[in-house]
Structure formats: structure tokens, C-alpha cells
Structure 1
Amino acid sequence: MKKQLIIIKNISVTIAILLAGFGLCLVMQNVFEEHVLIPSIFMLGVFLISVITDGFVYGVIASVVSVLAVNYAFTFPYFRINFTIPENLLSAIIMIAMTLITCCLTSKIKHQEQIRLEGEREKMRANLLRAVSHDLRTPLTTIYGASSALLENGQDFTEEQKNQMLEGIKEDSQWLHRMVENLLSITRLDGENVTIIKTPTALDELLDSVLVKFSKRYADQEVEVDIPDELVMIPMDALLIEQVIVNILENAVQHAEGMDKIWLRAFTISDKVIFEIRDNGKGIPEDKLKTIFAEGIGLSVCATIIKAHGGDITAENSNSGGAVFRFTLDVEERESDEESI
């Protein structure tokens, strides 16, 4: 069904552009008495068809139709297809050669873009595998070691030691659970045709949900929040964006050396909303700044989710100390919101 819709779209686009070009050429010929630009208009139409449609065939068909249309309606003898006149034949050969070259070039560019995107996906998969091995090895080793010790030598430990080991197993199990959540999120975004289902979400409700989840895991860590007073609606997959913010907050708690304060800020600039998570730790080592989103699964997931939303995410060190993570999303225009109400 989806393939049929794509074919229908491509055919519709091809017909619409050819008809628009034909109509414009009629205006040029009959109103402005201009004939020189007519082949160029059809060539522009073929170029647009090659760029917009999928595959090579639509551009080729458009180029053949364009040559026939120019010969039939815009060259003497009018309203007859006639290639016996040398000038008409030469013009047709030149035009079809130019349009076919245009089709070939646009198809080649599209193919190169597909190769580039596939390379990025492979790079993401490789980074994910490295991140998984990096983040899962330690808790699995700890759980295995503690559980083996309790099973084999449980009588040698005091109740306090047993409770400490069980608490460690619990914490590492919770960590593994969060890693699995991240893995499930990233597999949702790893297909060739990723579609994010966005729904308008209120900024304050989003951050309230984030803080509830974060406080369950880190009840002692306070987060200072600063958001606009007015209602801000953002089209997003709310669960995925929540996960991005929670991952960055958790990263600050776990890796920001010397950190005791976290600030979560969101503000709008033009048609964008900018999220900023800042801490007062020692910052990110300079040698890790460029690869910060490829080293751990949590931040790898963040980068993938934001990219799938069409946004940008960055990490840097603040001049006053500490790390600053920022990401941007398109914000829903308030005018359209008011009209819908």
C-alpha cells in the first residue's frame, strides 16, 4: 500500500510539473511572443521532477515528453510532430541529451546521499555496540560476583554485608533496566524510514514528568528549573524527549566530578525551543568533548533521538565551570494554536 502511494505521488508530481511547464510556455509564446526560453522551461521541469520523484524512470519519461511537447506545440510546423527538418531534429537531440544528463546527475546525487545516510547508520550501530559493551559490562560483572558470593559463601557474611551486597545488586539491576529502555528506544529509530509521531506537548508538563522520574532515582539531588511563564507547546514524541533529559541529568549525577547543583532551563528563540542542562562540576575533559555522544549508550541515545526530531544537540564546558548540554526542537507557533482553539 505504501509503495502504491509513492508511485501515485511520483506520477502526480510528474504530470503536474509537465502541465505547469506546458502552460507557462503557452503564455510565453502567445502573450510575450518569446520562444527562446521554452526549451529551458521544460528542462527546468525535468530537473524538478528528477529531484522530487523517486527513481530514474520519471525523469526519463519527462524528458521524452518534453521533447515531443516542444516539437509538437512550439516549433514549426505547429501542432505536428516533425523531425524531418534538420533544425528540429538537432534541437530535439540536444534537448533530450541535456535532460537525460540532468536525470543521471540528480539520480547519482540521490544515490550518494543514500550511501552517506547508510554510512551514518552503520556508524551509529558501531557506536551503539561499543557503548553497550562499555556500559553493560560493569553492572553485569558486579551482579554476577555478588550473587555468586552470596550463594556459595552466604554463611560467611554478616547481615549488614549481605544487605549491602543485595542493595548493590538492586542498584545495578535498576541501571541495567534503564539501559534496556535506552536500547529499546534506539531500536525504534534504527530503521531506514524512521517516523517520529509528534504530538503537541506543553513544556511545563514535560518537565514535571521528567522531574518525577528523576527524583525517584535521585531523591537527594535537587534540580533548579527555569522555564517561560507563558504556555509553550512543542511537537514531539514526549516519551523520547523525556528520556533525553533524564539521561543528561543522570549523566551529570554519575560523571560530573565535584557537582552539587544542576540547572534545567528551557527558553524560546524565534521558532525554536532550547533546552539547557548545566552543572557546576569540573566539566568534560577536552579530549572527550568531540566524542561525548559516542562513548556511552545514554548520550548516544540522546543524540539519535534529537536527530530523529530534526533538532541539534551539543555539549561544551561553561566559562564559569561545569558542563552544559543543549538541544533544540521546533516549537509550535502560537498563532496556529490560537486559531485551533
Structure 2
Amino acid sequence: MVKDKSYLKNILMTAGILLISFVISLLLQHVFKVHEHITAVFIFAVFLISLLTNGYVYGIVAAFISMIAVNYAFTFPFFSINFMIPVNMISAIVMIVIAILTSTLTTQIKRHEAMKAEGEKERMRANLLRAVSHDLRTPLTTIYGSAATLLENRDTLEEEQQTKILQGIKEDSEWLVRMVENLLSITRIDSGNVKIIKTPIVLEELIDSVIVKFRKRYPDFDITLDLPEDIVVIPMDAMLIEQVIVNILENAIQHAEGMTELILRVFVLGKQAIFEIKDNGCGISKEKLPYIFSGYYENKEEPSDGQKRNTGIGLSVCKTIIKAHGGDISAENIKGGGAVFRFTLDTEEEIDA
């Protein structure tokens, strides 16, 4: 299907450029009484076709068509083909050479860009795998150690100690589940096999669901809400957008040291809903900020066997989901302290409350 569209696009582009060239040549000949630049018009057309289409075929075909058009319609004697005239032969050779050279150059450039893009994907996969390997190892080791402790010392451990160990296993298991959810989301969308299915969702219902999920995980943290008074309807995959908001809120709790306030604000600007999540914590380091959504950031000062850390996989998931919805996402530090994460989604018409 994609190849068929590519063929059709190339054919239409070739036909369109040749048609425009023919019309321009007619104007030059009959309106402006200029004959000497008509060949140059078709040579330029062949160059454009070779540059904008894929492969060699369209440029070479355009060269032959242009050669015949110049010979038949714009070279005396008109309406007859005669390649024995030196000027016609030279024009034909020039057009074919330009088509071949330009097609070769553009093909090499496109191949180089494809290889570069594939290399970048491989680098990101390697970074993601390295980050995931590090992050999964710590909770798995903790779970294994805690379970072994319970099995080996069940009779000697007090009930309070057992409860504390079980609580740790539960928290690490929940963290692993969220990590797996994030990985499944990003690979599902990046594969291109699954399209985002948007359904109209009322903003207030979305936020209510987010708050319920968030409070189950972090009952001791309060979120200040700032939402529009009017009913706002946003086409989205609600589960994925909930995941985005929860990931950003969780990122603030894990990394915004000194945070005393966490604000979730949503407002409508034109045909877009803008989501802002602000905190008054320590902000994002200048070194980390450019890579915040890349999926991996290596901090050499962190111990390799440290506590669970957010490598940015959750934020990488956020970027993937928002881009799949046609929106934008960004992060920046606030002058007074703290950071703000911002993403946009297209809205439907507002309904007055």
C-alpha cells in the first residue's frame, strides 16, 4: 500500500512538472516570442524530477519525454521529430546525463539518511536496553532477597518485620509493573503496527481517573488542581494519556527534591488543551534537561548499585504517546525554583456548563 502511494506520488509529480514546463514553454514561444530558453526550461524540469522522485526511472523517462517535446513542438521544423540536428542531439544527451547524475546523487543521499536514521534507532535501543537492565536488576534483587529472608527466617521474624518486608516486595513489584507498562506502550506505538484510536473524553473525567490512580500509589502527596470551568472534550486514548500524566507526576515525586507543592493545571488556548505539571522542587539539571525525553541519561556520579532510579524511560514513553496524538511535549525550569512539564492535545468544541 505504501509502495503504491509512492509510485502514484512519483508519477503525478513527474507528469505535473512536465506539464508545467510545457505550458511555460508555450508561453515563451507564443506570448514572449522567446525560443532559445525553452530547452533550458525542460532541462530544469528533468533536474527537478530527478531530485524529487525516487530512483532513476522517473528522471530518465522525463528526459526522453522532454527531448521529444522540445524536438517535436518547439524546434523547427515543427511537429516532426529529427534527432539528426546537432542541437537536438546535444540537448538530449544533456538531459539524460543530468537525469542520471541527479538521480544518483539523490539516491545516495537518501540511502545515507536511511542508514543514519537506522543507526540512531540502534543507538537508542542499546541505551534503552542498558537503562532497563540497570533499573530492573535493583528491584528484582530486592524482591529475591526479601523473599529468601522470609522463607529462611519466617519463624524468627516478628510480624511487624514480616509486614515491612512484604510491603517492600509489594512496592518493588508495583514499580516493575509500571516499568513493563511503559515499555509495552513505547514499543507498541513505535512499532507502527498499532494506531492511536481517539475517543472524545471529558477533561474532568480524565483528571478524576488520574487522581484516583495517583493516590493509590502515593496517598501522602497532595496535588493542587487548576482546571477550566467549562466542559472540555478532548479526543484521545484515555489510558495512554492517563499514563502520561501519572508518569510526569511520579517523576516529580522521585526527583523534585525539596518539593512542597505539586500543581496540575489545564487550560484551553484556541483549539488546544495545554496540560502543565509544576513543582517547586530543585528543578532539572542543565546537563540532563536536553536528554529528559530521550529515554536514557547517564549520570556518572550515581552509584551503579544505587536505589531504583528513573532513567527517563517513563518520560520517553510520554513523548512517544503525545507525539502519536499529534501534540507536543516539553520541560523547563522555573525561575523561582522547580520545573514545569507541558504537553498539548487538540480539543473538540467546548460545551458551556
Q: Does TM, scored on the shorter chain, surpass 0.5?
A: yes
Q: Structure 1 CA distance, aligned partners of 2:252 and 2:283?
A: 10
Note the C-alpha offset of 1:110: 2.3
Aligned to 1:323: 339
Q: Deviations over 1:272-301 (max 9, x none)?
A: 554322111122233333333323121222
Note the C-alpha offset of 1:316: 2.6
The yes-or-no answer on 1:102 pairing with 2:102 is yes
Tell me if structure 1 keeps the 8 A contact 2:50–2:58: yes
The yes-or-no answer on 1:133 pairing with 2:133 is yes
Q: Structure 1 CA distance, aligned partners of 2:177 and 2:200?
A: 26
Aligned to 1:18: 18
Aligned to 1:67: 67
Q: Structure 2 CA distance, aligned partners of 1:284 and 1:84?
A: 73
2:155 is paired with a residue whose SS is helix
Judged with a 3 Å threshold, the aligned counterparts in structure 2 of structure 1 residues 106 and 320 are, in CA distance, closer, same or farther, namely same
Judged with a 3 Å threshold, the aligned counterparts in structure 2 of structure 1 residues 2 and 139 are, in CA distance, closer, same or farther, namely same
Aligned to 1:277: 277
Structure having the higher helix fraction is 1
Judged with a 3 Å threshold, the aligned counterparts in structure 2 of structure 1 residues 244 and 76 are, in CA distance, closer, same or farther, namely farther
Aligned to 2:30: 30
Aligned to 1:314: 330
Note the C-alpha offset of 1:308: 4.6
Judged with a 3 Å threshold, the aligned counterparts in structure 2 of structure 1 residues 287 and 21 are, in CA distance, closer, same or farther, namely same
- AA of the residue aligned to 1:122: E
Aligned to 2:320: 304
Give the 5 Å matches for 1:1-341.
Answer: 1-50=1-50, 52-191=52-191, 196-197=195-196, 199=198, 201-202=200-201, 204=203, 205-229=205-229, 236-267=236-267, 273-293=273-293, 294-295=296-297, 296=311, 297-309=313-325, 311-329=327-345, 331=346
1:156 is paired with a residue whose SS is coil
Q: Structure 1 CA distance, aligned partners of 2:227 and 2:44?
A: 48
- AA of the residue aligned to 1:323: A
Q: Structure 2 CA distance, aligned partners of 1:231 and 1:101?
A: 59
Q: Deviations over 1:137-166 (max 9, x none)?
A: 221111111111112221121112112211
Judged with a 3 Å threshold, the aligned counterparts in structure 2 of structure 1 residues 36 and 112 are, in CA distance, closer, same or farther, namely farther
Q: Deviations over 1:147-194 (max 9, x none)?
A: 111122211211121122112111111111111111111212334x57
Q: Structure 2 CA distance, aligned partners of 1:328 and 1:247?
A: 16
Q: Structure 1 CA distance, aligned partners of 2:261 and 2:133?
A: 30
Q: Structure 1 CA distance, aligned partners of 2:171 and 2:233?
A: 36
CA-based RMSD = 3.2
For structure 1, which segment, 212-221 or 147-156, has the greater mean C-alpha deviation from structure 2 after superposition? Answer: 212-221
Q: Structure 2 CA distance, aligned partners of 1:65 and 1:73?
A: 12
1:286 is paired with a residue whose SS is coil
Judged with a 3 Å threshold, the aligned counterparts in structure 2 of structure 1 residues 169 and 195 are, in CA distance, closer, same or farther, namely closer
Q: Structure 2 CA distance, aligned partners of 1:76 and 1:165?
A: 96
Identity level (%)? 58
Tell me if structure 2 keeps the 8 A contact 1:273–1:328: yes
For structure 1, which segment, 180-189 or 22-31, has the greater mean C-alpha deviation from structure 2 after superposition? Answer: 22-31
- AA of the residue aligned to 1:197: I
Q: Structure 2 CA distance, aligned partners of 1:18 and 1:257?
A: 64
Q: Deviations over 1:238-273 (max 9, x none)?
A: 443332222111111122112232112334556655
Which ranges in structure 2 are unaligned for 5 or more consecutive residues?
298-310
Judged with a 3 Å threshold, the aligned counterparts in structure 2 of structure 1 residues 44 and 208 are, in CA distance, closer, same or farther, namely farther
Tell me if structure 1 keeps the 8 A contact 2:46–2:98: no
Q: Structure 1 CA distance, aligned partners of 2:237 and 2:58?
A: 35
Q: Structure 2 CA distance, aligned partners of 1:208 and 1:182?
A: 21
Tell me if structure 1 keeps the 8 A contact 2:247–2:318: yes
Q: Structure 1 CA distance, aligned partners of 2:325 and 2:47?
A: 29
Tell me if structure 2 keeps the 8 A contact 1:200–1:332: no
Tell me if structure 2 keeps the 8 A contact 1:46–1:103: no
Q: How many residues align?
A: 334
1:287 is paired with a residue whose SS is coil
